């Protein structure tokens, strides 16, 4: 495996409200790190797990600390986290990256101070700044630019790197951001940021009609055109997928999944190893996804769907849709399309559901078809 990713669920507090957030409200209120992360034996436990995965083929080891706004943690805990990262940084003789999640929703000066404590630990440390694209407040985007510039200056001073923190943009399809406006927000000193942008299009969480899918499709095409020169996650993902020989038989698909899942280790808040994988939407933790969207993550569900949906039947990218994980969004959107929720009043909410009669769908259910066409043809 060329790339090995360890993703640790160690801290959850976050004052944000992203539409598809995997965390529960209770978790987002929890301001303590999980106890295991600072216990003496954790470094040994994690080091052994990593060592078992490293092979002569390994080109990059990524260790991610998530998933809340880690920069809202107490400074004493940030210092402990920095100590752990320092130990990990010297323990493995392979190229590596440390990724720290933050949503930046807190006071900027204290977040900058904590960011510096972490930046001092390793030249390979980056922040995964998770931003809800629905946030319109100019002051929030100014905080983001100040944070980004501050860390860039620090890295330039230390002659570390050219590119910087990763912007993780969570897109709520129900409230698609204005692309021109978004592009302007991501400019610093009149230049669009060079660092990676990870976009994740979440499924709809309400009844949808054909027009919604059509809008999503057009929005994705325009987004892709506008950000054509930017390092966006789905481009790298599709490029890597293009290099994988996808045969016609089910075994190749299984092999792809196995390979993908083997390179990804997810450690949950109870220190259990959970199944996860990398997808076109970013990292997928099936356990949480299942809780959040109430879907069966089995690929058989998708095959059933693809076989009864006109546009999927005719789609040239069914396999890619499956292998990239995009099918998970399609499944949920299909569910939202077939069921209608009647809101008689706020209190009755979603108690009554009515199955729609079979409808023909003229648009891709996740919007990714346009990207598959652009990058895989
Ligand atoms: S990319 Fe869209 S149209 Fe193609 S199989 Fe997936 S959901 Fe269906």
Q: Is the CB of 312 under 6 A from ligand 1?
A: yes
For residue 311 and ligand 1, the question of a CB distance below 6 A is answered with: yes
Of ligand 1's atoms, which has the minimum distance to the CA of residue 367? 2
Using CA atoms, how far apart are residues 232 and 74, in angstroms rounded to an integer?
32
Q: Is 368 in the pocket of ligand 1 (CB under 6 A)?
A: yes
Q: Which residues contact 300 (CB under 8 A, 6 or more apart)?
A: none
What pLDDT score was predicted for residue 172?
86
Q: Which domains does the chain have, with CATH numbers?
A: 3-291 (3.20.20), 299-376 (no CATH)
Instruction: Give me the average pLDDT of each 10-residue run along the chain (377 residues).
Output: 88 82 84 92 95 92 93 96 96 94 91 96 93 81 92 84 82 90 90 87 85 92 94 89 68 70 85 83 73 65 86 90 88 81 39 46 89 90
CB–CB of 175/205 below 8 Å? no
Whole-prediction pTM value? 0.85
- The predicted pLDDT at position 351 comes to 41
Which of the listed residues 325, 368, 370 should we mutate to test ligand 1's pocket, taking the one with most ligand atoms within 8 A of CB? 368
Q: From the centroid of its chain, how far is CA 140?
A: 20
The pLDDT of residue 280 is 87
Asked if 114 and 85 touch (Cβ cutoff 8 Å), the reply is no
Q: What is the reported pLDDT for 342? A: 42
Q: Output the pLDDT for position 249.
A: 64
**Distance from Cα 321 to the centre of ligand 1, integer Å:** 6
Residue 14 near residue 73, CB atoms below 8 Å? no
């Amino acid at each position: 495996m060329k790339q090995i990713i360890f993703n640790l669920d160690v801290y959850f507090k976050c004052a944000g409200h992203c539409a598809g957030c995997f965390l529960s409200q209770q978790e987002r209120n929890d301001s303590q790190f999980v106890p295991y992360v600072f216990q003496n034996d954790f470094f040994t436990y994690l080091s052994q797990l990593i060592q078992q995965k490293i092979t002569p083929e390994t080109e990059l080891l990524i260790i991610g600390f998530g998933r809340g706004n880690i920069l809202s943690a107490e400074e004493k805990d940030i210092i402990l986290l920095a100590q752990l990262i320092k130990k990990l940084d010297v323990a493995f003789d392979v190229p590596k990256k440390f990724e720290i999640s933050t949503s930046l929703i807190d006071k900027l000066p204290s977040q900058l101070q904590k960011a510096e404590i972490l930046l001092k630990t390793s030249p390979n440390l980056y922040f995964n700044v998770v931003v809800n694209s629905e946030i319109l407040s100019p002051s929030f985007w100014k905080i983001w630019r100040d944070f980004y510039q501050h860390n860039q200056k620090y890295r330039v001073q230390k002659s570390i790197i050219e590119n910087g923190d990763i912007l993780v943009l969570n897109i709520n399809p129900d409230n698609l951001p204005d692309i021109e406006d978004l592009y302007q927000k991501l400019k610093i000193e009149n230049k669009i940021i060079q660092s990676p942008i990870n976009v994740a299009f979440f499924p709809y969480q309400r009844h949808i009609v054909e027009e919604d899918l059509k809008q999503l499709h057009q929005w994705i095409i325009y987004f892709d055109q506008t950000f054509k020169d930017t390092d966006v996650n789905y481009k790298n993902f599709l490029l890597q997928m293009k290099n994988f020989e996808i045969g016609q038989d089910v075994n190749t698909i299984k092999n792809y999944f196995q390979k993908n899942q083997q390179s990804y280790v997810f450690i949950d808040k109870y220190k259990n190893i959970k199944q996860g994988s990398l997808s076109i939407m970013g990292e997928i933790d099936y356990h949480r996804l299942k809780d959040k969207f109430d879907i069966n993550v089995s690929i058989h569900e998708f095959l059933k769907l693809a076989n009864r949906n006109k546009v999927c039947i005719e789609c040239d990218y069914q396999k890619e849709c499956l292998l990239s994980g995009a099918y998970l969004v399609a499944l949920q959107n299909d569910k939202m399309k077939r069921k209608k929720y009647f809101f008689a009043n706020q209190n009755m909410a979603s108690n009554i559901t009515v199955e729609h009669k079979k409808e023909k769908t003229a648009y891709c259910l996740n919007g990714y078809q346009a990207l598959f066409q652009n990058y895989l043809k």
